[in-house]
Amino acid sequence: MALDIGILGYRFMGKAHSNALARLPMFFPDAPEINRHTLVGRDEEALAEAADELGFEHTSTEWADVIDEVDAFYNLGPNHVHAEPSIAALEAGTPVFCEKPLAPTLDTAEEMRDAAADADVPAGNAFNYRFVPAIQYAKGLIDDGELGDIRQVRGSYLQDWLVDPEAPWSWRNSKELAGSGALGDLGAHTVDLARFLAGDAAGEIARVSGHLKTFVDERPVEGEEETREVTVDDAYTAQAEYENGATGTFEASRVADGHKNDHTIQIHGTDGSLKFSLERLNELEYKRADGRGYETILVTDGSDPYVEHWWPPGHVLGWEHTFVHENYEFLSAVRDGEEFRPSFEDGYEVQRILNAVERSDESGQWVEP
């Protein structure tokens, strides 16, 4: 029997996930059969156009009318609407897949985590970079002990879409709507990847020291002759200490000129190192214990994670394929009644780190998450 899917949100993430749902039956024949059932939004006219474009049978302007009608509910709206629909769906026994960060605040993330813990259904947080084949390959190397003891973790996520002070204001510039700026929007991805890759080997982050900076205090409102205050950070930096004594350095920026979507992570151990860049998504740089330097592994062989479903070796994958992979895993968990990770618990743990960075910036001190 096909799973009926309901999605709240039809813009950037709505398109990314709808595209993934359309690709699943073609490339993942063992994936659950799905039906793009209902698309949820506020503007009826725009919603109807989006539903036609994205292949949904029905539309609704009330998410509360949808959560009981579908077998899985995707909450892809802005950060401030993550909590209420997700919690209501979980209380109704409907599996939920929610975009990141889990919530604008730690308290709200805790409420969502607790609702997921009380529900006997999968609740997933959309950290799609876990599902890059090269990241999965790196995870295997670390879990197999190929890097030895983890000593250093470095993560950076740089973009430049807000370099221009005349770039228009959006909900992402509002603390009330987004929670934070580059920290939550980009830093959440980096912290989650660091936990995914190094968490089992190095433990959790024990303390952080953080600094947030806003460079443009107000931005013009598109189509209007006024400006609005920017109440979130444009960039952040953080130092971290892990439970095993390893060090971590993290940063993100939405004003780093020349960087479009530059997400990098490095893991250094006693027996080797790894480097990954999202802008070279199919490659993993690996320094073996007996190697003189890094070797570049092209992660496109049929034996590599997920790649057997796609093209011959060397025919590279892209950003959109990460959504196919995570949708495959989430919907398979829904069908089989199994746990999905990254879970709401994982999203909450990320939120604890982000909150600690903010508290450190306010206090000027090292703080524990």
Asked if residue 241 and residue 170 are part of one domain, the reply reads: yes
Asked if residue 232 and residue 149 are part of one domain, the reply reads: yes
Asked if residue 202 and residue 112 are part of one domain, the reply reads: no
Asked if residue 150 and residue 91 are part of one domain, the reply reads: no
Asked if residue 76 and residue 136 are part of one domain, the reply reads: no
Residue 368 covered by a domain: no
The mean of the pLDDT values for the chain is 97
Residue 326 covered by a domain: no
Asked if residue 276 and residue 199 are part of one domain, the reply reads: yes
Q: Final residue of a domain: which of 69, 96, 129?
A: 129
**Residue 158: its pLDDT value, please?**
98
**Full residue range of the structural domain in which residue 284 is found:** 130-318+344-363
Q: Final residue of a domain: which of 129, 154, 186?
A: 129
Residue 62 covered by a domain: yes
Predicted TM-score of the model (pTM): 0.96
Asked if residue 218 and residue 91 are part of one domain, the reply reads: no
Q: Is 57 exposed, middle or buried (0-12, 13-18, 19+ CB in 10 A)?
A: exposed
- CATH code of 202's domain: 3.30.360.10
Residue 334 covered by a domain: no
Asked if residue 277 and residue 134 are part of one domain, the reply reads: yes
**Residue 223: its pLDDT value, please?**
87
Asked if residue 305 and residue 221 are part of one domain, the reply reads: yes
Residue 325 covered by a domain: no
Question: In this structure, are residues 174 and 232 in contact, taking their beta carbons and an 8 Å threshold?
Answer: yes
Integer angstrom CA distances of residue 130 from 211, 253, 277, 325: 26, 21, 13, 9
Residue 333 covered by a domain: no
Asked if residue 200 and residue 65 are part of one domain, the reply reads: no
The number of distinct structural domains making up the chain is 2
Residue 61 covered by a domain: yes
Q: What is the mean pLDDT of each run of 10 residues along the chain (369 residues)?
A: 96 96 96 97 94 97 97 97 98 98 97 97 98 98 97 98 97 96 98 97 97 98 94 98 97 98 98 98 97 96 97 96 98 97 98 98 98
**Residue 1: its pLDDT value, please?**
84
Asked if residue 32 and residue 10 are part of one domain, the reply reads: yes
Asked if residue 199 and residue 57 are part of one domain, the reply reads: no
Tell whether omega for the bond before 342 is within 30 degrees of 0, i.e. cis: yes
- CATH code of 118's domain: 3.40.50.720
Q: Final residue of a domain: which of 100, 129, 158?
A: 129
Distance CA 102, CA 80 (A): 10
**Residue 317: its pLDDT value, please?**
97
Residue 336 covered by a domain: no
